[in-house]
Amino acid sequence: MEWQPLGSNLPIRNNFLSRWIGRAVLRTMGWRVEGQIPNRQQLVVALVPHSSNIDFLLTMAVLWGLGLRAVFMMKHSLFWFPLGPALRYLGGIPVDRRSSQGLVEQMRDRFSAQPKLVLGITPEGTRGGATEFKTGFACIAAAAKVPVLPAVLDYQQRTVRFAQLIEEVSDVGAIVDRVRLEAATGRARSAR
């Protein structure tokens, strides 16, 4: 598999060892990456589907293999010692899904304050049983005026596919529909 060289606008993790580890993990697991990450300073990456704990390992392997520095939101209950400091180091942001804490505004402000930021979110919000996408990822993108990049995990084909960038982010419903379509396209490809 040929790895995409990242553009200079993206937040880059210049660490040869982590790149080697990420690529080795994907190679060992038999996974590959398709598509490109656009050379943008800021992105919201919508990872679909979120169906397994392995999703986290795959995501970290792709990030490390590419050399991309990203942050991601996870349920706050995972941030206990000693796991919490490790998750924060990897880019984790604890989120209490039970509280209405103005998360959209917090992330909009973070995008305003950080010129290079890639935020990964799972629209389903949970590993199992979610039938509808949560709109938070699209609300964050719309509030921060940041494009959305769908990333589709295809377990049948063992592929992480970066779909076409969603640049028009003023309509939250349209963003969710596009990401849902990409997820459905990934499932249809797997069924073949």
The reply to whether 131 falls in a domain is: yes
The reply to whether 145 falls in a domain is: yes
Query: How many structural domains does the chain have?
Result: 1
Query: CA of 140: how far to CAs of 33, 107, 159, in Å?
Result: 26, 7, 27
- What is the per-residue pLDDT across 41-99, written as a single tens digit (0 to 9) for each? 999 999 998 878 889 899 999 999 999 999 998 888 889 898 999 999 999 988 876 66
Task: Identify the pLDDT of residue 170.
Answer: 96
The reply to whether 89 falls in a domain is: yes
Query: CA of 56: how far to CAs of 53, 153, 173, in Å?
Result: 6, 11, 26
Of 56 and 128, the one with more pLDDT: 56
Q: What is the mean pLDDT of the chain?
A: 89
Task: Identify the pLDDT of residue 161.
Answer: 96
The reply to whether 5 falls in a domain is: no
Token look-up 């799972």 returns: 122
Please classify residue 91 by burial: count the beta carbons closer than 10 Å to its beta carbon, then call 0-12 exposed, 13-18 middle and 19+ buried.
buried
The reply to whether 161 falls in a domain is: yes
Task: Identify the pLDDT of residue 188.
Answer: 57
The reply to whether 36 falls in a domain is: yes
The reply to whether 61 falls in a domain is: yes
The reply to whether 57 falls in a domain is: yes
Domain range enclosing 24: 16-191
